[in-house]
Amino acid sequence: MKLVLLDKENMLLFLNSVQPHQLSFEQKEKLESQLKSLLLKLKHIYHLSFCGYYTIYVYQDSLYGNILKIHHEDLDDFDYLQDEIELCFHIEKNSKILYRIEDPCDVRKKWHKKTKLYYYDHQFYFYMIENMSQLELGQFLEFTEPCFQNTEEILNYGKVLDSW
């Protein structure tokens, strides 16, 4: 699990599949209580304040896991008590998560078989085609940055680099 604070109102939570997370995406009522408890857990770990209305966008990838984009809505009309959380979530199943990299030569050759390399808009992106172990994924993420929005455009219009 990795939390990235983007600004005062937005954060990204990366939940990769090699670490077990107790989120049930099949039952929305159960998921809401699980997400609230996860936010309260993050509050204690990172000393953050969670109170109010949050929109959570969930991007699911079968090989990576889940990325949660958490946006705090600033609603002046409502007063929330401390730790009172209201959630609205949108789940995008079967997302395609890509991994942006500055120089594809930085990655190990053993990952060449498990990924495809795309070039789009002056950027390099890896698309994972095979599962990686927790250790491999951790090492891979040291060199890359996960991308989860508008990835279909990159996959459809990007150039596949076969011999690199």
- Same-domain check for residues 50 and 77: yes
Do 61 and 140 fall within a single domain?
no
119 and 81 within one domain? no
**Residues 29 and 52 both lie in one domain:** yes
Q: What is the gyration radius of the CA atoms in the chain, in angstroms? A: 18
| Domain end residue (candidates: 92, 125, 146) | 92
Range of the domain at 148: 98-160
Do 115 and 87 belong to one domain? no
- Say which amino acid occupies 34: Q
CA-based angle 18:53:150, to the nearest 5? 50
In angstroms, rounded to a whole number, what is the distance separating the alpha carbons of residues 44 and 130?
A: 35
Does residue 149 share a domain with residue 69?
no
Calpha distance 40→102 (Å, rounded)? 35
> Which residue among 92, 121, 149 closes a domain?
92
| Whether pLDDT at 87 is above 70 | yes
Contact 143, 103 (CB under 8 A): no
Single residue among 44, 61, 92 that ends a domain in this structure = 92
Residue 117, pLDDT above cutoff 90: yes
Q: Are residues 19 and 82 in the same domain?
A: yes
Q: How far apart are CA 66 and CA 73, in angstroms?
A: 22
Q: Are residues 40 and 111 in the same domain?
A: no
When pLDDT is cut at 50, 70 and 90, the band that residue 160 belongs to is very high
Q: Are residues 34 and 9 in the same domain?
A: yes
Alpha helix ranges (H) inside the chain: 28-46, 134-143, 151-157
pLDDT score for 8: 87
Same domain flag for 82 and 8: yes
pLDDT tens per residue across span 119-159: 999 999 999 998 888 888 888 888 899 999 889 999 999 99
SS3 content of the chain, % helix, strand, coil (to 5): 25, 35, 40
8 A C-beta contact, residue 141 and residue 121: no
Indicate if the pLDDT at residue 94 is higher than 70.
Answer: yes
- The pTM for the full model equals 0.79
**What is the number of structural domains in the chain?**
2
